[in-house]
Amino acid sequence: MAGKMKAVVKTEPGYGAKLVEVDIPKIGPSQVLIKVTSTSICGTDLHIYAWDKWAESVIKTPQILGHEVAGEVVEIGAQVSKVKLGDFVSAETHIPCGHCYQCETGKQHVCNTMKILGVHVDGVFADYAVIEAVDIWLNDPAITPEFASVQEPLGNAIDTIYAGNVAGKNVLISGAGPIGLLAVGVAKVFGATKIIVSEPNSYRRDIARKMGADAVVDPTQEDLGYVVKHCTGGIGVDFVAEMSGHPVALNQSLKTICTGGSMAMLGFPADKVSIDLTNDVILKEITLIGITGRKMFKTWHIAKRLLKEKRLDLTPAITHQLPLEDFDQGMALMKSGNCAKIILKP
């Protein structure tokens, strides 16, 4: 498709991004062009926007930001048979190579040479975006574009909570950022008995309650261990979803788990973390599980079912909807922490 489009671009190394007019991208034989109807901001976009050390080491400018998306198929590469024109789609953001050991053993979401949409290739904060056919996900028309674009982080939440096999269990969600808040709703619908949420930000604690938390804790003001004991009849939680990446939170959370319990970790600590392996893991027979991304596409099927059947309402966790032009405002909100998912619409 010939023509111009608007896009949020990191034009050069350094802070910020610019809304610029660029050519509508051309697709290759294994790709699909979509007209973007809804996108949402991820913490990764803020890292790139703010140009931290990680962004500096990974991003090659010019780079279109954004990877959480919903849109309509407008052009299809010659080798693609998965979708047709007009289909309502979203995208997995991990781009697998298809032929490494991980890819060949059913783990393409952790491909050895994985690329990421909006990080290694141009992203979706634009009128149009190119998606590899392997990553295209066909949405159900009953799902709103806003919920559809949030499915990617919802997938992080689903994969993490799924790892806890939470039905009937008491659960701690450590860190109620946008993904932790989605995880509260997921834990509820997966049948957790009691959901305790630990989060220093009061704005986010309020949303956690709306998403279904039974108890919320400010770990900087209250004794998390005491609250968990109180809520669980002195036993401790069966499972922790660690979604803060904060080393103190990680250590405090480990101590709240009952003997034989488990913890799935999604949050990325910025540095190496020291933990008391002997007392907090080995002697307690704790299972530690690392989570990266989402399963392709088991997790997406679960997200689709939950949203299509309206078993999971994401409304409280979508706090802002802005036109794409107002991306600076969206990034400022992300930086403040007084938000959950922010939708940007081209």
Contacting positions for ligand NAD (CB under 6 A) = 43, 156, 174-180, 198-201, 204, 219, 243-246, 248-249, 266-268, 291-293, 337
| DSSP bridge partners of 64 | 9
Contact 145, 70 (CB under 8 A): yes
The residue behind tokens 């790139």 is 48
Burial state string for 190-229 with b = 16 or more CB within 10 A and e = fewer than 16: bebebbbbbbbbeebbebbeebbbbbbbebeeeebeebbe
Q: Residue 85 or residue 270: which is nearer to ligand NAD going by CB?
A: 270
For the bound state, the minimum distance from the C-beta of residue 188 to Zn ion, rounded and expressed in Å, comes to 35
Q: Residue 9 or residue 46: which is nearer to ligand NAD going by CB?
A: 46
The residue behind tokens 């309509």 is 72
Please state the three-class secondary structure of 9-62 as a single string.
EECCCCCCCEEEEEECCCCCCCEEEEEEEEEECCHHHHHHHHCCHHHHHHCCCC
- Count CA atoms closer than 13 A to 254's CA, side-chain side: 24
Q: Residue 82 or residue 115: which is nearer to ligand NAD going by CB?
A: 115
For the bound state, the minimum distance from the C-beta of residue 53 to ligand NAD, rounded and expressed in Å, comes to 14
Q: Is 301 a catalytic residue?
A: no
103 is a contact residue toward Zn ion (CB under 5 A): yes
Q: From the list ligand NAD, Zn ion, none, which binds 29 (C-beta under 5 to 8 Å, kind-based)?
A: none
Contact with Zn ion (CB under 5 A) among 25, 66, 71, 96: 96
Count residues near Zn ion (CB under 5 A).
5
Q: Residue 91 or residue 103: which is nearer to Zn ion going by CB?
A: 103
Q: From the list ligand NAD, Zn ion, none, which binds 103 (C-beta under 5 to 8 Å, kind-based)?
A: Zn ion
Q: Is 319 a catalytic residue?
A: no
Q: Residue 111 or residue 129: which is nearer to Zn ion going by CB?
A: 111
**Residue 27 in tokens:** 């697709």
Task: Provide DSSP, 52-110.
Answer: -HHHHHH--SSEE---EEEEEEEEE-TT--S--TT-EEEE-SEE--SSSHHHHTT-GGG
- Residues 36 to 95 in contact with Zn ion, rule: CB under 5 A: none
For the bound state, the minimum distance from the C-beta of residue 152 to ligand NAD, rounded and expressed in Å, comes to 9
Contacts of 126 (CB under 8 A, 6+ apart): 5, 6, 7, 8, 22, 36, 64, 66, 324, 346
Contacts of 249 (CB under 8 A, 6+ apart): 174, 175, 198, 219, 242, 267
293 is a contact residue toward Zn ion (CB under 5 A): no
Contact with Zn ion (CB under 5 A) among 100, 110, 116, 322: 100
For the bound state, the minimum distance from the C-beta of residue 159 to ligand NAD, rounded and expressed in Å, comes to 8
Q: From the list Zn ion, ligand NAD, none, which binds 201 (C-beta under 5 to 8 Å, kind-based)?
A: ligand NAD
Binding piece for Zn ion, criterion CB under 5 A, among 44-52, 96-104, 219-227, 268-276 = 96-104
Q: Residue 76 or residue 208: which is nearer to ligand NAD going by CB?
A: 208
State the residues that interact with Zn ion by CB under 5 A: 96-97, 100, 103, 111
What are the catalytic residues?
44, 47
